[in-house]
Amino acid sequence: MLATMLYGPGDVRVEDIPEPKIQLPTDAIIRLSASCICGSDLWPFRGLQNVGAPMAMGHEYCGIVEEVGSAVKNVRPGQFVVGSFCISDNTCPHCRFGFQSSCEQREFMSGAQAPLARVPLADGTLVATGDIPADDLIPDLLAASDVLGTGWYAADAARVRPGATVVVVGDGAVGLMAVLSAAQMGAGRIIAMSRHKSRQELALEFGATDIVSERGEAGIARVREMTGGVGADSVLECVGMEEAMDQALNICRPGGSIGYVGVPHVVTFDGQKLFFHQKNLMGGPAPVRRFLPELMELVLSRKINPGKVFDLELPLADVAEGYRAMDERRAIKTLLLVNVR
């Protein structure tokens, strides 16, 4: 089968590799309905994360179960499933506490930018739908696997409540999903920080009430002014850079909460400053598995359409162009058609 391999910075290729096989009794093999490129795939693509050997890319997936190992009980061949980018057993103490992304058996999914993928711990990781969903819902269901689940976690971690004033820092795909999530949770005001016209428009469509295009000190001052000098109840940090975290800390009101889901790259905290800031901080890799049943139901009942975040669609053979388009910010997020033969 043709699959996506990253060899080094800027060097992503489609290669003919053997189809994945069941390796453990708890595995499943799924035939993907679609795949996509994640913002985090750009870190190794940009050379900001070491790639020792060719790396099988892709961790967002949904599709039809092809085969299951002998110990798998919760899903069966022929079912449509969505799984988290974090592999989890869903039974250990951390999973039962709702933090499947810290599962005692945690693994990170890989190799999903391909027609077939192996999913370890299938019983704990995959969630099946009752029926095979309509084709037009595939992008929305695929989004639930990571980008929507991560945006949702940002809102959950920032304790978004009905009527709350929310600020979303970052207008990438996750930031836009964070806007949608805050709107679903009933936020009264959602301020999206974005400098890009097309992303501002999408943010407004997903439920943002205000746009702030200033960044840094000017952005902080603008949000302070908009909130009568108080600051926001909840701040959703969806970037992972020092400037964004600094904005989040300074925009959030004392006693308020910051949900941070951007993987930190060179972010440092000053203990004294943090002490006197008096803000709740919660973040990390999203426990998408906790939210999957609810998110899938919202999609299947057509209450949300997160799939709108995909603004570029390419066949798997053109995956390198998908990476370049996102790297150069020509695309927000690329959907990959994996079953075109």
Q: For the CB of residue 152, give the shortest distance to Zn ion in the complex, in Å.
A: 19
Quickly list H helices, the chain. 42-45, 93-96, 122-125, 138-144, 147-157, 173-184, 197-206, 216-226, 242-251, 271-277, 288-300, 319-327
DSSP readout, 27-60?
Answer: -EEEEEEEEE--GGGHHHHTTSS---S-EE----
Question: Rounded distance, CA 208 to CA 161, Å?
Answer: 15
3-state SS, 202-256, equals: HHHHHCCCEEECCCHHHHHHHHHHHCCCCCEEEEEECCCCHHHHHHHHHHEEEEE
- Closer residue to Zn ion (CB): 100 or 257: 100
Question: In a 3-state reduction of DSSP, which class is residue 201?
Answer: helix
- Closer residue to Zn ion (CB): 88 or 194: 88
- Closer residue to Zn ion (CB): 10 or 93: 93
Binding site for Zn ion (CB under 5 A): 88-89, 92, 95, 103
Residue 276 burial (CB < 10 Å; 0-12/13-18/19+)? exposed
Q: For the CB of residue 89, give the shortest distance to Zn ion in the complex, in Å.
A: 4
- Closer residue to Zn ion (CB): 103 or 249: 103
Q: For the CB of residue 98, give the shortest distance to Zn ion in the complex, in Å.
A: 11
Q: For the CB of residue 100, give the shortest distance to Zn ion in the complex, in Å.
A: 6
- Closer residue to Zn ion (CB): 126 or 168: 126
Q: For the CB of residue 85, give the shortest distance to Zn ion in the complex, in Å.
A: 15
Q: For the CB of residue 251, give the shortest distance to Zn ion in the complex, in Å.
A: 34
Are the C-beta atoms of residues 191 and 226 closer than 8 Å to each other?
Answer: yes
- Closer residue to Zn ion (CB): 88 or 334: 88
- Closer residue to Zn ion (CB): 107 or 201: 107
Question: Which has the closest alpha carbon to 286: 212, 181, 131, 136?
Answer: 181
Q: For the CB of residue 103, give the shortest distance to Zn ion in the complex, in Å.
A: 3
Q: How much is the CA Rg of the chain, to the nearest whole Å?
A: 20
Q: For the CB of residue 102, give the shortest distance to Zn ion in the complex, in Å.
A: 8
- Closer residue to Zn ion (CB): 106 or 279: 106
Q: Parallel, antiparallel, or unpaired for β 116-119 and 126-128? A: unpaired
Polymer length in residues for the chain: 341
The tokens of 174 are what? 């996750």
Question: Which has the closest alpha carbon to 288: 137, 174, 159?
Answer: 174
